[in-house]
């Protein structure tokens, strides 16, 4: 089997369960941004250890579910399976519970945070920003009327929040940055 199929050479891509659309249509833009988020999370997972690495892997797998939903034409979404190829409210609730547990253990700063405390924290912040971009692309897609009942926008919003609190949790020496006094 060859990696190249030549079917996308003219600017179109195939959808899950059939159909072809332009590669720069809102759907492919949305699931492409989700794919970027998976890659950014892969960098964070490569730097993480133990339970955190396992959590990040779970998030990456959940984003494959999100991507599958976004890569399916609306008229074919009845074929999707909850939690396998269709994003669910339970997936959003799982993120919310995890956020609450982390914030309880690591209270949030009350000031802006400059990323870069350590490599893992920085990688989680890159992943967070990438998820926010995916959220914006999904919002564009949703505004076209293609995601009327989907929880994908909510899922991505919570995921970005989770990545923010995870970044704070791996930065125990975090100190707020104060502006320099005028002399």
Closest by alpha carbon to 120, among 163, 170, 180, 71? Answer: 170
Task: Tell me if 146 is assigned to some domain.
Answer: yes
Number of domains in the chain: 1
Task: Tell me if 11 is assigned to some domain.
Answer: no
Task: Tell me if 84 is assigned to some domain.
Answer: yes
Task: Tell me if 178 is assigned to some domain.
Answer: no
How confident is the model at residue 178, as a pLDDT? 47
Read off the CATH number of the domain in which 71 is found: 1.20.1200.10
Q: Which residues pair with 134 in a beta bridge?
A: none
How confident is the model at residue 176, as a pLDDT? 46
Residues with Cβ < 8 Å from 52, sequence gap 6 or more? Answer: 166, 170
Task: Tell me if 160 is assigned to some domain.
Answer: yes
Q: Are 120 and 48 in contact (CB under 8 A)?
A: yes
- Dump pLDDT digits (tens) for 71-92: 999 999 999 999 999 999 999 9
Task: Tell me if 7 is assigned to some domain.
Answer: no
User: Which parts of the chain register pLDDT below 50?
Assistant: 176-179
Task: Tell me if 14 is assigned to some domain.
Answer: no
**Residue 120, domain extent:** 20-169
Q: Are 20 and 14 in contact (CB under 8 A)?
A: yes
To which residue do tokens 């104060």 refer?
178
Task: Tell me if 183 is assigned to some domain.
Answer: no
How confident is the model at residue 107, as a pLDDT? 85
């Amino acid at each position: 089997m060859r990696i190249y199929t030549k079917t996308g050479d003219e600017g179109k891509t195939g959808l899950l369960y059939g159909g072809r659309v332009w590669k720069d249509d809102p759907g492919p833009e949305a699931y492409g941004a989700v794919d970027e988020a998976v890659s950014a999370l892969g960098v964070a997972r490569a730097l993480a250890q133990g339970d955190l690495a396992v959590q990040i892997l779970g998030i990456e797998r959940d984003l494959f579910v999100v991507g599958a939903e976004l890569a399916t034409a609306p008229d074919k979404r009845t074929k999707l399976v909850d939690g396998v190829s269709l994003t669910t409210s339970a997936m959003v609730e799982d993120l919310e519970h995890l956020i609450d547990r982390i914030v309880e253990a690591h209270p949030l700063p009350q000031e802006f945070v400059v990323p870069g405390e350590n490599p893992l924290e920085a990688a989680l912040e890159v992943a967070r920003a990438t998820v926010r971009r995916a959220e914006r692309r999904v919002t564009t897609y949703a505004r076209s009327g293609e995601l009327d009942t989907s929880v994908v926008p909510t899922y991505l919003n919570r995921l970005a929040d989770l990545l923010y609190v995870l970044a704070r949790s791996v930065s125990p020496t975090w100190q707020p940055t104060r502006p320099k006094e005028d002399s």
